[in-house]
Amino acid sequence: MVAVDCIDCAADASVVNAVNEGIEIARDIKSLRRPWLMISVNDDEDLHFRKAEFDPEDCPADCSRPCETVCPANAIAFHQNTTLGISNGAGTPRMLKDGVITERCYGCGRCFPVCPYDKIREVTYVRDAIATADLMKRDDVDAIEIHTSGRQTSLFKELWSALGDSVGYLRLIAVSLPNAGDSTISTMNEIFSIMKPNLQSFNLWQLDGRPMSGDIGRGATKESIAFAVQMANARVRPPGFLQLAGGTNAYTIDGLKKEGLFQTPSVNKYSDNATSTNGSANSSQALIGGVAYGGYARKIVGRALRAMQSQHGVAACVEDHPQHLLVALEEALALVGPFKFL
Ligand code: SF4
Ligand code: SF4
């Protein structure tokens, strides 16, 4: 059975270990081709690289905790510091503290404005290039995604140079950028010329329409579709696949079809490679080579985890209740199916 091509995660060794462990557990439950593992980094401050933080001790006791309700990732919780049986990659239970569960927070920012006491801080970070380069040399990391602002390229150049020959270990280099209007294509061209001398793998442009909003509803995907239309109208583009992101959800493919931009590439569905040669570099008939699902995918997984916890208790592990994982998997397959001839 075919599935997602790539799973994107933080450029952190423990996260990479946990994702690889999760992939193997999923493959034990259902026969799936191993997806590529992609690590994400940023060349400057970026919405995707921030966390919420607050001290629950500072919260007034009578606060109705709107932060907890609004968080789409279940990343804010008040557990009274209980120990939960959630695996941490080493298979050991760990303590869930009150407040923000940092590993779950993906920086969507929805909790910031709802706190009536202004207790929630935004903590931004930039990944260390040397540690990232070391990670890229591991044989269980296949791809990197570099988030850039699209405003100027000097910071991208600096990061690319710091990554050095580690890019040669990868199978795919993705650059994620927002729509900066008319200057977008020239920025992409500049970035491509920076990468070109030591680009030995596939490359991909991730068109970030409306960051981290896919779970909000149907309209969230409009900006990613508009970005795709803009790219379709561009007379010249730098080489590389185009992938939609930012607001992508179950309505994205319909939106692409309405614009006449959805065409399945000629991927060999029985290929054991995540991206076969047949369906990649030369599949220029498919303007949009793929869709990245972020917030919407989190929503699917979150729903499955909540259902499992309400049935088996908050300490339950999905490994022990694979039927819940299967529900999430079926929904995920419905998302990628149109791209994969399911
Ligand atoms: S930033 Fe988003 S994911 Fe993080 S705690 Fe706030 S609402 Fe949750
Ligand atoms: S809304 Fe603000 S004050 Fe209330 S629990 Fe959340 S962080 Fe604390």
Phi, psi of 235 (to 5 degrees): -70, -40
pLDDT of residue 82: 55
Evaluate whether 253 touches 336 at the Cβ level (below 8 Å).
Answer: no
| Ligand 2 touching residue 242 (CB < 6 A) | no
Average pLDDT by stretches of 10, the chain with 342 residues: 80 92 85 91 87 94 94 84 50 67 90 96 90 95 94 93 96 96 94 96 95 86 95 91 93 92 55 36 63 89 87 84 85 81 53
What pLDDT is recorded for position 329?
80
DSSP states of 209-262 as a string?
Answer: SSTT-TTT-GGGGHHHHHHHHHHHH-S---SSEEEEESS--TTHHHHHHHTT--
- Residue of the CA atom closest to atom 1 of ligand 2: 115
Decide if 6 contacts 274 (C-beta within 8 A).
Answer: yes
Q: Is the CB of 138 under 6 A from ligand 2?
A: no
Please tell me the number of the ligand nearest to residue 118's CA: 2
Question: What 3-state class would DSSP assign to 175?
Answer: strand
Q: Within its chain, how far is the Cα of 302 from the centroid?
A: 15
DSSP assignment, residue 314? T
CATH architecture of the domain with residue range 47-85+95-125: 2-Layer Sandwich (3.30)
For the CA atoms of 335, 336, 340, 342, the dihedral, rounded to the nearest 10 degrees, stands at -40
Q: In what helix (H) or strand (E) does residue 160 lie, and over which residues does it extend?
A: helix 154-163
* Class (C level, CATH) for 6-44+129-294: alpha beta
| Beta carbons of 301 and 214 less than 8 angstroms apart | no
122 Cα nearest atom in ligand 1: 1
Q: Looking at the DSSP assignment, which residues form a beta bridge with residue 203?
A: 173
AA letter at 322: P
> 164 C-alpha to center of ligand 2: Å?
44
In 10 A of CB 137, how many CB atoms? 12
In the chain, the DSSP E strands lie at 6-10, 36-42, 50-53, 76-77, 83-84, 94-95, 99-100, 121-124, 143-147, 172-178, 202-208, 241-245, 290-291
Please name which ligand lies nearest the alpha carbon of 104: 1
Query: In this structure, which ligand is nearest to the CA of 62?
Result: 2
Q: Can you give the pTM of this predicted structure?
A: 0.82
* Residue having the nearest C-alpha atom to atom 2 of ligand 1: 108
pLDDT at 283: 44
From the CB of 65, is ligand 2 less than 6 Å away? Answer: yes
CB 177 within 8 A of CB 184: yes
Per domain, the residue ranges of the chain are: 6-44+129-294, 47-85+95-125
Give yes or no on whether 6-44+129-294 and 47-85+95-125 have one common fold: no
Q: What is the pLDDT of residue 94?
A: 54
| C-beta 23 within 6 A of ligand 2 | no
